[in-house]
A and B are shown apart, each in its own frame.
Chain A
Amino acid sequence: MITKARLFVLFAAAAVLWLWTASHPEANAHAEVPRGRIELDQTSFVAKSWQSDGTHLTVIKGKLTYGEQPVANALLQVRPQGRNIVTREDGSFELLVDRSLIAYKPVSVVSVQDAMIAGKPIESEMADSILSASSMISVYHPIEVTKVATSETDASRVKVYARFIIEKNDKISFFQVDKYRISGKVEDANGSPVKDAIVWIDREIGEGFAKSTPTDRNGRYEMYYWPEEEETNLTVIVGTHRYTLPDGKVFILPRDTSVDIQIRLPKEGLIIDDKSPNLVCTTSAGAKYNGLLAGLDVPPGTPYSVTIPDRQGRFVLTVPKATWEKHPLFFETILTKFIAQDKVLRAGDELPIGLVKPGDQDPRLGHLPR
């Protein structure tokens, strides 16, 4: 069992194309001009489901050097917002990598102000080189392409059948409905939009609540929630004023749908009149989705589509043949997105072209050969 798992990891690691790693200056380690360098004893990690015993966390060692010499007391950081890591006397440091979530995180030098080489402060010409040293940590699910076939409806395109390889006992949540949207408009008593108002809903019983974005100059707000046919309080905060429903009144949110709530604030006082046109609620289309997806790391605007993975992690890309023949890398992302469609999207449904885009912290990878 253990051997099998190890083999799997080795295979996966070997098969993945490390585009960014390959282009990394480490390839020129023996260049004549000394330069700053961050070495990590491992940079690529196959994602592993969270374990209560913490075994999804891996400690890795690293070293910061300038030429052949260790750089002590420099500050490193795993971007974007990791802790400040101070290098030891021998330039070494340790990092904890959380393998339970996909990631692409640069490791870079953020300060050499107190750094030392061979017990001496570093010289200014060294500083730039050391500050430009970087490495990266990538955590990903291997992807296997099982079949590539010309599209039956468009011969210029191919259908690429792929799947995430998930370890046997790991459970992963793919893209699916997460919450519904509550949106609308806040107006003053004259019907003019109110800017920077915040709309709150909170349960009459219990602790559930949601807070909207501040209204824009058109008075528009939005928030995400999962109503359960429950009674909620509705509050609008404008500066330090709190507008509420009349005493004894609660808002009943319908279930399994997004809604639009138009609110007109009273001319005087802080009580929202709960009658039309001062308070109007209508159902609206769409839902917010969340979960793991894959896409192709191709130039923006490349017209390809991707489906929502099924429980086995299988998904299909429809790609211009010319694009696929360039052997593009995949990327993986945990996407949170509002999609304004009436129909609830499910596994196997094709997502709109251009919806799935890589973020700065999303890993890129090649696929396993079949």
Chain B
Amino acid sequence: MKKTHAKFGAAVAALLVLSACSGNNNKNNVTPSPTPGQTTETPSKTGVTGTSFQNWGSYGYSLANNRHVPFKEITADNVKDLGVIWSTDLKSLDADVKNGNQSYPVVIDGVIYITTAGNQVFALDAVTGNTIWHWKPDAEQAASFSKAGIIANRGVAVGEGKVFMLAVDNSLISLDQKTGKLVKMVKLGDHIDGVTLENGYYETTAPQYYKGNVYIGSSGSDNGVRGFVAAFKASDLTPAWDSPFWTVPPKGQDWLANSKFQGGGTVWNPVAIDEETDIMYFATGNPAPDFYGANRPGDNPNTDSVVAVNAMTGKIVWAKQEVSHDLWDYDAAASPMILNATVKGQKKKIVVQGGKSGLWFAWDAATGDVVWDGIPFAKIDKKKPTPEGTVSYPGVLGGENYAPESYDPATNYVLIPGIESPTLYKSAKTEAEAATPDFPGAAAFGTAMEEVPNVKGYGTVTAINVDTGKQAYQIKTTDAQRGGLTSTDSGLAFFGELDGKINALDIKAGKVIWTFQTSGDNVQAAPSIFTVDDKEYIVFTTGGTKPKVHVFGLGGNKTQGKAGTAETGGAHSAQ
């Protein structure tokens, strides 16, 4: 019984801590770097396969995070001919690679940049899989974060000839894009008060690069840390703003006056940036303690929210909350998307986000005015947690967890990766405990959650018509959707499953038309799609105990792997 709980705890933890990749200013996705005017050595001189490239330049393809590529080579008709071009077992490349993998690949000029659990970085030839360079933290640093709650990492940002990564121990790292040599490493705590492992902060998210700055958030809401977004100069990793943008008050003020905690509201997935306005949009985590709200009165503003901030100055533009006074760990987790879409018959720029609450929102990008207000894509049945325990839908996993949505402009559909799984929420155990004037803790669950017996969770992919705000369809998947989706101009969306399968969805029809069992364990990140010499490739990472990278293309090897099982696998452990 206890073991079940422990496993569950680890799985939850793994989910709670997703991180993100980098974002790039690739309007045409041919430029190797988001910095205009920057030149890079021609790839042929670097030994990289290929001479022309269409890149996946950042976490969400573009800084708008739409995860939609303009490629049409792979279609509903020929998707059956997709196969493995190459795949690599990351542990065979370096035995110190940790279990679990949630890395969203960035692909620039024929080079795939991926991170691993435990903060290694690989630059791999996108066509051959050959290692171009590899960076790993030294043993002492690696040991320091091997027990830091979660060691997953969601990828890099690339800009100005450098590759940026956040390490678990709250370090910001820049590497030379060509050689992988360390350029600089800074401790966030040297610039942002209190951002240390000891205080409950840790990093899993990918940074984003934009206009000379690297934008970061952090994890740790459930440990009661104070959420923030900060900007650092890409050139020397010094702060770019006078102050981080803190999402919640300092400890001891406002709604945290009675709380030992510093609030929560962490930004644990990458920001989206509107390059026309310099406004960035990010989603924020839950308030702490998670299930006990008596000492954090009111709405707990800016938690479970989408916040718009000027990326140049760090000043707030607007903030909209999805869940007021959250008692269920309903983060706004996944990165928002910025869409130019037809809404209610008119073209409009909007920001959309689906929460762990199982509700999907759209706001006017400039004003934050509500466009679609909490459209359900999961079963909604939430009850106030009691000491005896109450069952609520969604559970602590969501809804939509960190897995990002994609947007297909042809159908005007947003595709949401969902989880259908309830949680038994228990608040403070006794009256005496509930009456404790200051409910303290280094960890802030306050106090427990459990699996609901005899309920098997599953996953969903929901298509929402942005014009009407209505569900076009919802498909069920065997297991929770933990990776996210990526769509193409040929009307396909690719996504993986926890049993190591990957799928192609016909977006218009709402049908999965191709499934392939990879040789890897579970897929906990969405694929990136790119071209080399006009050939379209899809790169997935898989996790579990044998973290791998798989590149697919037409004409690849169609030999499938052994049927997998849905383990979320080990991102919490240090195996």
Contact (Cβ within 8 A) B223 A172: no
- A79 to nearest B CB, angstroms? 12
- A183 to nearest B CB, angstroms? 14
Residues A83 and B198 in contact in the complex (CB < 8 Å), given A49-B253, A50-B246, A240-B143: no
Contact (Cβ within 8 A) B253 A200: no
Contacts of A290 in B (CB 8 A): 251
CA–CA, A77 and B440, complex, Å: 37
Task: Check: B179 CB closer than 8 A to any chain A CB.
Answer: no
Task: Check: B574 CB closer than 8 A to any chain A CB.
Answer: yes
Residues A209 and B149 in contact in the complex (CB < 8 Å), given A54-B316, A226-B441: yes
CA–CA, A51 and B17, complex, Å: 27
Beta-carbon contacts under 8 Å, B395-445 to A: 438, 440-445
Q: Which residue of B lies closest to A48 (CB)?
A: B253
Of the stretches A6-14, A96-104, A149-157, A265-273, the one at the interface is A96-104
Contacts of B191 in A (CB 8 A): 81
Beta-carbon contacts under 8 Å, A206-228 to B: 206-211, 223-226, 228
- B181 to nearest A CB, angstroms? 23
- A54 to nearest B CB, angstroms? 4
Residues A207 and B302 in contact in the complex (CB < 8 Å), given A100-B253, A101-B250: no
Task: Check: A179 CB closer than 8 A to any chain B CB.
Answer: yes
Contact (Cβ within 8 A) A178 B440: yes
Contact (Cβ within 8 A) B139 A95: no
Contact (Cβ within 8 A) A235 B147: yes
Q: Which residue of A lies closest to B198 (CB)?
A: A211
Contacts of B254 in A (CB 8 A): 49-51, 171
Beta-carbon contacts under 8 Å, B232-268 to A: 233, 238-243, 246, 248-254, 256-257, 260
Task: Check: A170 CB closer than 8 A to any chain B CB.
Answer: yes
Contacts of B233 in A (CB 8 A): 83-84
Residues A211 and B6 in contact in the complex (CB < 8 Å), given A50-B254, A172-B252, A228-B441: no
Q: Which residue of B lies closest to A97 (CB)?
A: B242
Residues A207 and B443 in contact in the complex (CB < 8 Å), given A83-B242, A95-B242, A98-B243: yes
Chain B: interface residue count, which band? 35 or more
Task: Check: A292 CB closer than 8 A to any chain B CB.
Answer: yes
CA–CA, A111 and B143, complex, Å: 38
CA–CA, A237 and B145, complex, Å: 11
Contacts of B343 in A (CB 8 A): none
Q: Which residue of A lies closest to B252 (CB)?
A: A173
Contacts of B241 in A (CB 8 A): 83, 96
Contact (Cβ within 8 A) A81 B239: yes
CA–CA, A49 and B252, complex, Å: 10
Task: Check: A239 CB closer than 8 A to any chain B CB.
Answer: yes
Task: Check: B380 CB closer than 8 A to any chain A CB.
Answer: no
Contact (Cβ within 8 A) B147 A207: no
Task: Check: A202 CB closer than 8 A to any chain B CB.
Answer: yes
CA–CA, A171 and B250, complex, Å: 11
Q: Which residue of B lies closest to A213 (CB)?
A: B198
- Tell which of B197, B222, B257 touches A207, judged by Cβ atoms closer than 8 Å: B222
Q: Which residue of A lies closest to B240 (CB)?
A: A83
Contact (Cβ within 8 A) B222 A81: no
Contact (Cβ within 8 A) A292 B252: yes
Task: Check: B16 CB closer than 8 A to any chain A CB.
Answer: yes
Q: Mark A274-304, 1 if CB is under 8 A from B, else 0.
A: 0000000000000000111000000000000
Q: Which residue of B lies closest to A100 (CB)?
A: B250
Residues A239 and B242 in contact in the complex (CB < 8 Å), given A100-B253, A208-B441: no
Beta-carbon contacts under 8 Å, B11-47 to A: 12-13, 16-17
Task: Check: A263 CB closer than 8 A to any chain B CB.
Answer: no
CA–CA, A362 and B426, complex, Å: 42
CA–CA, A210 and B147, complex, Å: 10
Q: Which residue of B lies closest to A170 (CB)?
A: B253
Contact (Cβ within 8 A) A204 B239: no
CA–CA, A97 and B6, complex, Å: 45
Task: Check: B146 CB closer than 8 A to any chain A CB.
Answer: yes
Q: Mark A174-217, 1 if CB is under 8 A from B, else 0.
A: 00111100000000000000000010101111111111000000
- A352 to nearest B CB, angstroms? 22
Contact (Cβ within 8 A) A171 B257: yes
Task: Check: B510 CB closer than 8 A to any chain A CB.
Answer: no
- A311 to nearest B CB, angstroms? 10
CA–CA, A240 and B313, complex, Å: 42
Contacts of A240 in B (CB 8 A): 139, 142-143
Beta-carbon contacts under 8 Å, B432-476 to A: 438, 440-445, 447-448
CA–CA, A126 and B75, complex, Å: 68
Contact (Cβ within 8 A) A203 B9: yes
Task: Check: B190 CB closer than 8 A to any chain A CB.
Answer: yes
Residues A52 and B319 in contact in the complex (CB < 8 Å), given A83-B239, A228-B447: yes
Rank and list the top 4 A-B pairs by shortest CB-CB distance, nearest first: A208-B443, A173-B252, A171-B257, A50-B249
25 A–B contacts from the bound complex (CB under 8 Å): A49-B253, A50-B249, A52-B302, A57-B315, A82-B239, A84-B238, A96-B241, A96-B242, A171-B257, A172-B252, A172-B257, A198-B143, A202-B147, A205-B5, A205-B8, A205-B9, A208-B444, A209-B147, A210-B198, A211-B197, A224-B198, A226-B260, A226-B440, A226-B441, A228-B447
Knowing that A50-B253, A171-B253 touch, tell me 4 more A-B residue pairs with CB under 8 angstroms.
A206-B13, A208-B441, A209-B200, A209-B442
